[in-house]
Structure 1
Amino acid sequence: MAQQAYMTETDSGGSEPERRQNRIRRLLGRAVSGWRGDRRIWRRGLVTAAVAVLLSGVMAAHSHIPNAIGNLGSLTETFLPWFGLLIPVLLAIALVRKSATALIALVLPVSVWLNLFGGLLFDKTGSGGDLTVATHNVNADNADPAGTARAVAAAGADVMALEELKASAVPTYEKALEAKYPHHAVVGTVGLWSKYPISGVKPVDIELGWKRAMRATVATPSGPIAVYVAHLPSVRVKLEAGFTARQRDKSADALGEAIADEKLPRKILLGDLNGTMNDRSLTAITSQLRSPQGAVGNGFGFSWPASFPMARIDQILVTGVEPMTSWTLPATGSDHLPIAARVKVDTTAS
């Protein structure tokens, strides 16, 4: 009774923050006392602890998962950030099971995930820059091409790339964009619109048999930039074949070779690469160019599918220019989200 009276008196006195802290201390004390003296807390939850260790191993050593069977390595890397969702599930199981072993084991996957993606949890967008670029897979079956074009142009891009252009819809896009973009070029199913003069337009052979990539020189006020637009082949996840990406991988290698042969030091790649920056199969490209999203983005910047974005397969990659900020744009009539970035052109590059 005396103890109860003391606790009641303690709660009734002091400020509200102090009373709240007292209640939290008592709750924690009860939780700890429920575990204290129970030696089973070290024997329970061994399976949960093993899963936690396995999860951390998969995330930490994802580059060593072989692609020989169903491109399992690339599939894992495509959705790697989402592996973090297993951590709160394991945490809940560990708490329910009152397993100290599982709780300690969870430190591993938490540490690995934060090391890989913790930087994306913070807004690193910057100001400045003198060139805004955007890219959008508009979807060949888009029911509102004119509205989609206007929506992307509203981002204020100086240079804009569109992919999956249907031949019959190209005049609609041209008409919708002609007021803001006096210069444009379309090669096959990809196109480039610019406020600045375009020259040196040519298709880029990505070994498909039809044109889904192009290269052009954009004469910005700060100097010429080689701009590549590409739409790499789609990938599929099939039960009988796994992650089928052989043609995408082959095209990525061909695009990487073309970029490596580029003479201009300033390069920007805009397009739907059907792969994330974590996917080793895009190394021929990502080893030469970097993504503004990882350096100055806000969040993960997932772009596909537009209804519930799960992966960033649309990319803006640069070299010879300094990324300042990167962001995704609101949904259009496409199944992809548009993305944009602002960069500062390196006037010392020549």
Structure 2
Amino acid sequence: MAQVDTVETGSGGGAERERTGSRVRSVAGRLRRDPGIWRRGVLLALCAVLLALVMVFHAQIPNRVGNIGSLTETFLPWFGVFLPLLLVAGLLRRSATALVALVLPVAVWLNFFGGLATDKSGPGGDLMVVSHNVNADNPDPEGTARSVADSGADVVALEELKPAMVPVYEAALADRYPYHSVQGTVGLWSTYPLKDSAPVDIRLGWTRAMRATVSTPKGDFAVYVAHLPSVRVKLNAGFTANQRDNSADALGEAIARERLDDVILLGDLNGTMNDRSLNAVTSQLRSTQGAAGDGMGFSWPAAFPMARIDQILVRGVEPVASWTLPATDSDHLPIAARVTL
């Protein structure tokens, strides 16, 4: 009579689940019997609470000493790096107090930046715009110009144009963009007609901002291009930004006087949307990255982007998508957005 082999199924998986459940119960039992689980890690818990308080009350951090308030706001998203570190430390310390306290900064960070970490971009849009600080010392301005043109943008703003290099950019962009205007160290190139191009006084003594009207089949809109001064480091003074802040106020006043309803601001503002020193500008306009961005959109420094100091801000138009473009030979990444007019 032939021997029939029998196969037992399910018993191995059930045994493994039982062993796993036994281990979990064993760990849970040890933790319940551990008298120090709530006493250990008090310092870690205090660090977690302090981290949450700094994020919640960042606007109250004073700027009087070293411009520390604005500096904190510039890198505020990076406070999230401390969260996994505190989690690991709490687990190693087997501290329930630290782990419970960690819930607070996690909730705050997710409330502030959780939406930025996702892709909110959508299809469509009437107009694609690009802004790029090309770097005055760019070793390949022609290649940078070609890279920007290859993006397919309808309107391009360039900042930090060295006067000697302007003809190079003009020649490289001429085929795709029949209309352009350069004012000082900023310029605007467009596939649509430009009119009323003029510099904007941002209280620097030389021109680093401009305004123009772009005429499209769907109507006119105003475009501002700006390159605000950099935050400086001074001995015995830390980070100083008085010149940047004064220029931001002047730019905000110019935008407030704008007669057209539809406005797009393109440029290097040397500050993030969280920086209270840019309120004169950011209170009037919305960020395309915040509304329809793909991720955080960090643009500087190009080698390892840590902050979005390059901005596309709008009023009266609807952001559809916002993203960063591939690196050029600049120290900034180009940024792009599609909007509906």
> Do the structures match in fold with TM over 0.5?
yes
Aligned to 1:12: 12
Q: 1:27 to 1:247 in 2, by over 3 A?
A: farther
Paired position in structure 1 for 2:4 = none
Q: Which secondary structure state, in structure 2, belongs to the residue aligned with residue 110 of structure 1?
A: helix
Q: Secondary structure at the match of 1:251?
A: helix
Distance, in Å, in 1 between the alignment partners of 2:271 and 2:110 is 22
Cα 1:204–1:33 shift into 2, 3 Å: same
1:180-206 deviation digits (Å, cap 9, x = unpaired): 000000000000000011110110000
TM-score, normalized by length of structure 2?
Answer: 0.94
CA distance in 2, matches of 1:249, 1:104: 40
Question: Which deviations, in whole Å up to 9, do the C-alpha atoms of 1:226-275 show, x marking residues without a partner?
Answer: 10000000113456322211100000000000000011111100000000
TM-score normalised by L of structure 1: 0.92
Partner of 1:312: 308
- 1:22 is displaced (CA, Å) by 5.2
In 1, distance between residues paired with 2:140 and 2:19? Answer: 57
Equivalent residue, structure 1, for 2:90: 94
Matched-pair identity in %: 68
- Using the TM superposition, give the Cα deviation of residue 34 of structure 1 relative to its aligned residue in structure 2, in angstroms: 3.0
Structure 2 counterpart of 1:81, from 68, 77, 83: 77
- 1:1-350, aligned counterparts within 5 Å? 12-13=12-13, 19=16, 24-238=20-234, 240-345=236-341
Amino acid in structure 2 at the alignment position of 1:44:
R
Alpha-carbon distance between aligned partners in 1 of 2:63 and 2:201, rounded to the nearest angstrom? 25
Runs of 4+ in 1 over 6 A off after TM superposition: none
For residues 149-202 of structure 1, what are the alpha-carbon distances to aligned partners after superposition, in whole Å with 9 as ceiling and x for unaligned?
Answer: 111111111000000000111111011000000000000000000001111011
Change (3 A) 1:217 1:28: same
CA distance in 1, matches of 2:159, 2:252: 18
- Runs (5+) with no aligned partner, structure 1: 1-8, 346-350
SS of 1:179's partner is coil
Partner amino acid, structure 1, of 2:59: S
Which digits, 9 at most, give the CA deviation of each residue in 1:4-57, with x for residues without a partner?
Answer: xxxxx987145xxx95x6565444334323322111111110000000000000
Q: Which amino acid aligns with 1:171?
A: P
Cα distance change, pair 336–30 in 1 and its aligned pair in 2 (3 A): farther
CA separation in 1, counterparts of 2:277 and 2:244? 8
Distance 1:94 1:297, change over 3 A: same
Distance in 1 (CA, whole Å) between partners of 2:26 and 2:58 is 41
2: distance between equivalents of 1:11 and 1:59?
Answer: 52
Q: Shift in Å at residue 64 of structure 1? A: 1.1
Which secondary structure state, in structure 1, belongs to the residue aligned with residue 125 of structure 2? coil
For 2:320, what is the secondary structure of its paired residue?
A: strand
Question: Which 10-residue stretch deviates more, 147-156 or 175-184?
Answer: 147-156
Give the secondary structure class of the aligned counterpart of 1:42.
coil
Distance 1:329 1:25 in 2: 49
Q: Which segments of 5 or more consecutive residues in structure 2 lack a partner in the other structure?
A: 1-8
Residues 11 and 22, structure 1, Cα contact 8 Å, conserved in 2: no
CA separation in 1, counterparts of 2:71 and 2:20?
A: 44
RMSD: 1.6
Give the whole-Å Cα distance in 2 for the aligned partners of 1:119 and 1:24.
36
- Alpha carbons of structure 1 residues 48 and 238: separation in structure 2 relative to 1, 3 Å: farther
Cα distance in 2 between the residues matched to 1:24 and 1:125: 42
